[in-house]
Structure 1
Amino acid sequence: MSDTPLDEEKPLRERIAANPRPALKWLLGAVVLLALELGAVVGVVIKLLLTVARLGPLAPNPVAAALASAGEAAAGIPTLLSRSLIPNDGFQPGGTGAWTGTFLGLEPKYAWLIRVVLIYVYAFVWLGWFWVGYRWFREHYRYADWTPRDDVVDRLRGHRWGQFGFVLVLTFFIMALFAPALGPTTVDANIQNPYTHYTEYYDDETETLQNVTVGTANLGSTSQGAGGQNVGPWTYDDYKRFHPFGTITNGKDLFTYMAAGARVSLMIGLVSLIVGAGIASILSMLTAYYKGLADLATVVASDSIQALPVLLVAILASAVFSGTWLANLYNGAVMLMVIFSLTYWPFFWRALRGPALQVSEEEWIDAAKSFGQRPRTIMRKHMLPYVTGYLLIYASLTLGGIIISVAGLSYLSLGITPPTPEWGTVIASGQPYVATASWHISLIPGIMITLIVVGFNAFGDGIRDALDPESEGGGSDGGEAAIAGGGGA
């Protein structure tokens, strides 16, 4: 441990000012990595601001117009891992030889594969750089030589099942984050507005270069199982467009659909978790601190919600609010966020209630009260850090369930409305063709949903065992009771 007395500890910014070299080195590396994707980062920020601006008045919004203009300008900012720098669209004159319009004249599937590999390498480099930053923080800026967090990190590093889940979760996050660049084509061109975009192909019969709308090309590239109408995984269609996962029933690219759908599912899941977990965290600390009537009222409210099946409530709410202004916000995504936030907070509260009640009876809480600390300060400084670990465990286990629920509602045509991509919608469209040559339409999304849910569950198990080593392998009832939201101390 450091010899520096606790009452002489300086704020982090002062420690960095006293020894700025490690922080500046890390910041410089982060700036270089960020600069490689500057155009994409600026574009995402502007798109988020534009979405918020459009949720305002229905009248013409000058802020939205300004942001739209800024978005067009941001599209011109160089981005290393972009479709424009590593293109996979092109044509092959005469049907043989080098390709025109692709990266280095490579075959489209290889150009696309290079871009995908580079994107995932870039993401894992960022992950490694964050780890370097954490190590430098421990070495140069943290007073304590050891904290309980170090043991948590070390246990998680040795937890193979948790690491497997982390890799799956990270793969899903990267797919959602880099969806515009990962797809062999764009959502706007191939899915949302196919008749306003064009694609070039070489016509072998006339030996000329032809130009056709993407919508027309999609109609000639459908996968409907019978009569030779199928474009399977890792193949080209008649217009020499490469499809890593094949096409769906209307000829649109399945991989592009899946990548964009991952972004929609992740956004709904994360927002629902943040809102629901925020409500549960506040209520868990309030009820644990004040007990009595506050705890009783929350128990009644949470039990009333938990008595109903979540999916059934979501189906009912989706049906009731369909066609309303709420269902039209972001093609139904906002409605699903509200539904899952209001239906999942009781589960989070139940998971946090036991740990919150337990910590509220500890001696240091009584000491803080005797020193005159305000309840809000006690909850924030002494109770919240204790329950945060349990919140992380339950959040990782719940996010996969929300993704399945979103897919299920979309499968029933009650979730995200077309043309916005969602995994459940494409599974429903491909169900009649499961036993045909177009099996990929439903099977690939189904496998991906299964892997994502397994990944979140495995990662949650890893976090649980890292935070509470006695629960590893299910050998301790204490960890399981906390997760299940057991009673108080």
Structure 2
Amino acid sequence: MKDSVLIETFRYVRRSRSAMFGLFVICFFVFIAVAAPLIAPHNPLVQNLKINLQPGFWADKRTYFLGTDNFGRDILSRIIYGARISLTVGFIAVIIGVLLGMTAGVVAGFLGGWVDNVIMRIVDIMFSLPSILLAIVIVAILGRGLDKAMIAIGITYAPQIARIVRSQTIVVSNSEFIEAARAIGTPSLRIMVVHVLPNILSVLIVYGTLSIGSAILDAAALGFLGLGAQPPTPEWGAMLADGIHSITGGYWWVETFPGIAILLTVLGFNLLGDGLRDATDPRLRRKA
């Protein structure tokens, strides 16, 4: 019996070293995010100015493995707790973007006509601004804060998803089984939900996975600008902003380790997303 698409995709991803490395990195950060209260050596919010900017293991300071920041807070503990915030922001922002973009793309691609023109013109207007600039404008309107940043990032991702979903919906809508459903009088809403959406889910999963890494990076950028997570929240972008002046004084660890955490997380999602894309696209699938 022929294996399901899900099983075939999993087998292909498992054969891809880069995708498996990306999955390992993601699982690692998810684990430390879930187990943060158990594995974090110190409270990430406690300040002690007597030990500020203390180096870590390279200077044989075992109490603070990665050193302390300019407020005397343990950097390792803040990175561990920051994984919770950064991953949550990435997932929720992408979910918001997928829901908005999926709805707009399916409606535009399936109904066509003036509905398609109106939705796509709105999408074109949103595309006229760079995504990070659009996110800054939205945060400026909604106000600062982590929840506002998630909404802003999600809205900026919606146009990209809408275009991809619209193109896939147009292809699926011209299929024979859709014509048959229309011929027997099936309501348009039921066709979109029951017949169209299941056939574009693979595209949404792949693009959503790739977008999570970018969303984490955008959240870090907003946090660095002071528009996302507010002090003393242990968010990786905000940690970079807090230590921007320390690096010029030779305290390189304050900026380096949060930056490495962002780099590895984004890399993990990108590698896994690339593997899923190759696995779900027959044109890109390599022979085993």
1:465 aligns with 2:278: yes
Structure (1 or 2) with the larger CA radius of gyration: 1
Aligned to 1:285: 106
Return the offset for 1:469.
Answer: 3.1
Match of 1:363 among 168, 172, 176: 176
Return the offset for 1:414.
Answer: 1.8
- Name the Cα RMSD after superposition: 2.0
Q: TM-score, normalised by structure 2?
A: 0.92
Aligned to 1:267: 88
| Aligned partners of 1:176 and 1:260 also within 8 Å | yes
1:165 aligns with 2:52: no
| 1:151-191 Cα shifts (integer Å, max 9, x gaps) | 2221111111111111111112222222222211234xxx1
Return the offset for 1:247.
Answer: 0.9
Aligned to 1:395: 208
Aligned to 1:148: 5
Larger proportion of helix: 2
1:316 aligns with 2:137: yes
Return the offset for 1:235.
Answer: 6.7
Alpha-carbon distance between aligned partners in 1 of 2:93 and 2:129, rounded to the nearest angstrom: 18
| Aligned partners of 1:400 and 1:456 also within 8 Å | yes
Identical-residue share of aligned pairs (%)? 32
| Aligned partners of 2:55 and 2:253 also within 8 Å | no
Alpha-carbon distance between aligned partners in 2 of 1:319 and 1:286, rounded to the nearest angstrom: 30
| Aligned partners of 1:235 and 1:244 also within 8 Å | no
| 1:211-240 Cα shifts (integer Å, max 9, x gaps) | xxxx4xx222110xxxxxx23247776xxx
Higher RCO (Cα < 8 Å, 6 or more apart): 2
Alpha-carbon distance between aligned partners in 1 of 2:57 and 2:187, rounded to the nearest angstrom: 61
| 1:35-87 Cα shifts (integer Å, max 9, x gaps) | xxxxxxxxxxxxxxxxxxxxxxxxxxxxxxxxxxxxxxxxxxxxxxxxxxxxx
Aligned to 2:242: 429
Alpha-carbon distance between aligned partners in 1 of 2:105 and 2:139, rounded to the nearest angstrom: 29
Alpha-carbon distance between aligned partners in 1 of 2:72 and 2:6, rounded to the nearest angstrom: 50
1:221 aligns with 2:51: yes
Return the offset for 1:255.
Answer: 1.2
Counterpart of 1:452, as a letter, is: T
1:454 aligns with 2:278: no
Aligned to 2:55: 231
Distance 1:168 1:373, change over 3 A: same
| Aligned partners of 2:22 and 2:271 also within 8 Å | yes
Distance 1:368 1:408, change over 3 A: same
Return the offset for 1:446.
Answer: 1.1
Q: TM-score, normalised by structure 1?
A: 0.55
Q: How does 1:286-305 map to 2 (within 5 A)?
A: 286-305=107-126
Q: What SS does structure 1 have at the residue aligned with 2:146?
A: helix
| Aligned partners of 2:149 and 2:222 also within 8 Å | no
Q: What SS does structure 1 have at the residue aligned with 2:232?
A: coil
Distance 1:413 1:176, change over 3 A: same
Aligned to 1:376: 189
Unaligned ranges ≥5, structure 2: none
Unaligned ranges ≥5, structure 1: 2-144, 195-214, 224-229, 474-489
Alpha-carbon distance between aligned partners in 2 of 1:279 and 1:421, rounded to the nearest angstrom: 29
Alpha-carbon distance between aligned partners in 1 of 2:175 and 2:95, rounded to the nearest angstrom: 28
